[in-house]
Amino acid sequence: MTDLVPDRWLTVDGLANARDVGGLPLDGGGRVRTGVLLRTESLEGLGPAAVAYLTDELGVAQVLDLRTDHERTTYGLGALAAAGVPVHRLSFIPETGIALPEVDLGDSHPMLGHYLAYLEGRGECVVDGVRRIATLDSGTTVVHCAAGKDRTGVLVALVCAAVGVPREEITADYALSATRIDALFRKWTTASGEPMPGVDELDRHRPRAEVMAEFLRLLDERHGGPVGWLRENGLTDDELARLRTRLRDGSA
């Protein structure tokens, strides 16, 4: 399972929740190709050595920034942008605030409504993110939001589903960020001078596998799956084929 593959984590000074999507298994054999898609939190804490590592050694060629313009104005685009790496601004949340879907989700986790709202309110940005991963001819894509767990988790889940990662591996990868919540808050509170949150508050921010599992189930029910949703919202068969070519290793 995903949580037994520790070498997918990236050790980068200034990042606490960075890992390669590569290494995840594929239905039918093979794995997601490494060095194509990285997922992280926001990038403002990177120093020169970290930038050099990401660009020169890992080959980062583009950044997909899923944050709002307000977040970018407040915290900046990060050092990769300053180093000349193209940054594509693909906010998953409208500037006026997220509009939760008018659907009865029962006793589901509150974040499930937010995830559905990303698709309903910012579907064009979601599809554009997948498209940009698919159509980058060479080099590595970094996708990030603020913490690298919710908005980033949704985009990565859609990509993984589209290329054939089993559901249990998608949900396990999503939940891996739960192990980095303490480190993220230590980084943020050290920078701001604010106190570290208590245990209950930290736990509130931890992603849970069952939330992603339910999100994917709802896509199955309403759209015939993640690929169905992507196609309904403009991803072409050619782009889907290119995504699979880019991310599947040769044995899949």
pLDDT tens across the length of the chain (252 residues): 444 444 799 999 999 999 999 999 999 999 999 999 999 999 998 999 999 999 999 999 999 999 999 999 999 999 999 999 999 999 999 877 666 665 556 667 889 999 999 999 999 999 999 999 999 999 999 999 999 999 999 999 999 999 999 999 999 999 999 999 999 999 989 988 999 999 999 999 999 999 999 999 999 999 999 999 999 999 999 999 999 999 998 644
- Whether residue 119 contacts residue 39, with contact meaning beta carbons closer than 8 Å, is answered with no
Q: How far is CA 43 from CA 14, 199, 207, 228, in A?
A: 8, 26, 20, 32
Q: How far is CA 135 from CA 86, 175, 242, in A?
A: 14, 28, 7
Total residues belonging to the chain? 252
Residue type present at position 163: V
Distance of alpha carbon 248 from alpha carbon 133, whole angstroms: 13
